Chain A
Amino acid sequence: MTVLMIISPKNRPVFEAVIPANSLSERQLILSQLAIFAALDMVDEAMWSSKDLYLKVVDRFNDQSVSAFVTPGNHRFMLLHDARQDDGLKAFFNKLYEFFIKIALNPFYDDEEPIRSKAFSDRVRHLAQEYL
């Protein structure tokens, strides 16, 4: 059970996905969101120490860990996942980044707006099933 969130440069959540879908109760979902937002501080620290875009595990929450990927435009892709699942994450984040660039290139997409495209969320789920 993993939760993916994309957070914009001005700290607004732009996209959220729970994989597999609907497997979390309301309370668990809110707790996961809290864990991810709390990890943002760790991301802010970690991103200056490494020149890489992929910061591996930045924080832990109960038995899960939070991994992060920061784009040059300061969008953060945060993934809350089980502790042992961090093998293919770099490839997952890179592919996710490519999908995200396609959305960003859309002239009708305003900055900081939530991503509502069904195609994007389908692709993300498909990608998650492959890698996670």
Chain B
Amino acid sequence: MSEKRVTPARKEVMESSLELLLIEIVRWFVYGWKNGRDPQKTDAGNGSADVDQIAGSLNRKLALTNAVHGMGYDVGQRLIERLSTDHLKMETNLEVVKYICKDFWEETFKKQIDVLKTNNKGRFVLQDNNFRWIRKASRNDPSQLKVEDFLTFPAGIVCGAMNRLGVDCTVSADAASAPMCIFTVEIAQPPNNSRQQ
């Protein structure tokens, strides 16, 4: 039997297709999948249609957070399995976060985290001054989409990655001054932790 390469050569994809896919995922969830048309384009209906739309949009925001965050979570777990192969063991939570800020961010978003802050009680603030996936997002678009919506997927990725490395946490994202964005990681603190701070 011929010697097969165990690890396939890295395949490459146009980055623009990834960005378009991410944009469309968020739009799909925000505008609903029953009719994937923009609200501006549907007929300006009567009052009940508007109420329905508002309630619908709240539900959709929830669906957005849950589903897209969950998707990011799965992707983050798999990315970590793949990317952390050569890395030595990380013993403290801080080492895990530093790994995420440097190697993981470099592989996934092509740069490292710019500023890392912690309050030493399980809360880490990761600041990226020019987040790659939202560089081209417009800031004052009057549609229902906000820049934060596009950050649920990356937040899910970080959450999944950290959970896979053994750190139970929740991740939230903030894009007040896009393209600079801030990810806040809150680590659940058990009463007696075997992993030190």
Q: Which residues of chain A come closer than 8 Å to B11, judged between CB atoms?
A: none
Task: Give the docked Cα–Cα distance between A95 and B85 (Å).
Answer: 11
Q: Check B55 for interface membership: any CB of A closer than 8 A.
A: no
Q: Is the CB of A72 within 8 A of B6?
A: no
Q: Is the CB of B82 within 8 A of A105?
A: yes
Chain B contact residues: helix, strand, loop or mixed:
loop
- Chain B interface residue count: which class? 10 to 19
In the complex the two chains form, is B164's CB within 8 Å of A105's CB? no
Report chain A residues within 8 Å CB of B74: 107
Chain B contacts with A in 55-109, Cβ cutoff 8 A: 74, 77-78, 80-82, 84-85, 87-91
B6 contact set on A, CB distance < 8 A: 95, 98-99
Residue of A nearest to B74 (CB): A107
Interface pair B165/A72, CB less than 8 Å apart? yes
Is A52 located at the chain interface by the 8 A CB criterion?
yes
Q: Let me know if A104 and B81 touch, CB within 8 A.
A: yes
Expressed in whole angstroms, the Cα–Cα distance for A51 and B84 within the complex equals 13
Q: How far is the CA of A47 from the CA of B88 in the complex (A)?
A: 11
Known contacts being A97-B85, A98-B6, A101-B81, is A72 close to B90, with CB within 8 Å? Answer: yes
A20 within 8 A of B: no
Interface contact B89-A101, CB-CB below 8 Å: no
Residues of chain A touching chain B, judged by Cβ–Cβ distance below 8 Å, are 9, 47-48, 50-53, 70-74, 95, 97-99, 101, 104-105, 107, 111
